[in-house]
Amino acid sequence: MALVAGRKTFAAGKTLLLRAGVWLGAEAAARGGNGARRFVSQRVLVESDVTAGIATIKFKNPPVNSLSLEFLTEFIICLEKLENDKTYRGLILTSDCPGIFSAGLDLREMCGKNLAHYAEYWRAIQETWLKLYLSNMVLVAAINGASPAGGCLMALSSDYRVLADNPRYRIGLNETLLGIVAPFWFKDVLVNTIGHRAAEHALQLGLLFQPTEALQVGMVDQVVPEDQVQSTALSVMTEWLAIPDHARQLTKSMMRKATADNLIKQREADIQNFVSFVSRDSIQKSLQVYLEKLKQKKH
């Protein structure tokens, strides 16, 4: 399918958007007779089973699925499309990059850029989280790789987490190890998931949990052999989709609204806080040292 600048309406009546030179949401690129559809975008793969009402988003931003601004832009648009298309009642989040669910925020977006960039980046992070956390769909995270920091937040924002049983696949909010502080709403989501004491312990030490530990502390709901992650996510989804939507959605909103509102009411202040924090010389140095360490790890 050709790339077209601007907007173009196709025969199927779907409007496609081209933004930042990236093809987004090319719908019905492949449509099987069994109701399977595949949307194509550069960094986010969407497969869907229309009959079951289930979509699967696969992160495809190699090498480590870092949450770059380009990735987030595509991801938000895909989420919006699925949310607005009432065909879909359930969404599975997983990775197309072997061994990595997501390495979290893209450190290169937080280093050596200008203040306007940091603000734009943080707004996209907030938007992604709000869309995930408040989604009307059932969200199941099929965590098939390492999931530090922002990657962990994506998983924690789902309704249910299935983690592959591989000791290399560690999950947690490790911000303090980078010399930075997890934002209050990352903290809130962690507290809501594992409780105050365990969250305080994990956050201060920047703990990254191996699968058995993650299960024990309640950060994930199930640990299964690696080759069963997707099938387990699917059977969990089927169970959740058996509940009437309106009752489940209102219950989800009742449980999550206060946490989301806490950010919504101070979004601009949160952006300013991030910009002034991340642009400090000391923080820039810490981030650069950390990135350098990651690069040198291989040599």
Q: Please identify, using beta-carbon distances, which residue of 25 and 104 lies nearer to ligand LP6JUW53.
A: 104
Does residue 94 belong to the site contacting ligand LP6JUW53 (CB under 6 A)? no
Select from 123, 126, 216 the least CA-distant residue to 172.
216
Instruction: Tell me the one-letter amino acid at 62.
Output: P
Q: For residue 179, what are its two tokens?
A: 């010399």
H or E element in which residue 282 lies: helix 281-296
Cα distance between residue 7 and residue 9, in whole Å: 7
Choice from 41, 56, 61, 66 touching ligand LP6JUW53 (CB under 6 A) = 66
- DSSP, res 114: -
| Phi, psi (rounded to 5 degrees) for 42 | -70, -40
Task: Find the shortest distance in angstroms from Cβ 81 to ligand LP6JUW53.
Answer: 25
Residues 156-215 that bind ligand LP6JUW53 (CB under 6 A): 174-175, 178, 180-181, 183
- Helical ranges in 209-299 per DSSP H: 211-217, 229-241, 245-264, 267-278, 281-296
Catalytic residue among 153, 174, 213, 287: 174
Cα distance between residue 182 and residue 235, in whole Å: 33
Q: Determine whether 195 is an active site residue.
A: no
Task: Find the shortest distance in angstroms from Cβ 150 to ligand LP6JUW53.
Answer: 3
Give me the residue label for tokens 């194509």.
Answer: 40
| Interacting span for ligand LP6JUW53 (CB under 6 A) from 34-42, 70-78, 82-90, 290-298 | 290-298
Task: Find the shortest distance in angstroms from Cβ 263 to ligand LP6JUW53.
Answer: 12
Q: Determine whether 175 is an active site residue.
A: yes
Give me the residue label for tokens 């009642």.
Answer: 89
Q: Which positions are catalytic?
A: 105, 150, 174-175
Contacts with ligand LP6JUW53 by CB under 6 A lie at: 63-64, 66, 100, 103-108, 146, 148-150, 174-175, 178, 180-181, 183, 273-274, 277-278, 291, 294-295, 297-298
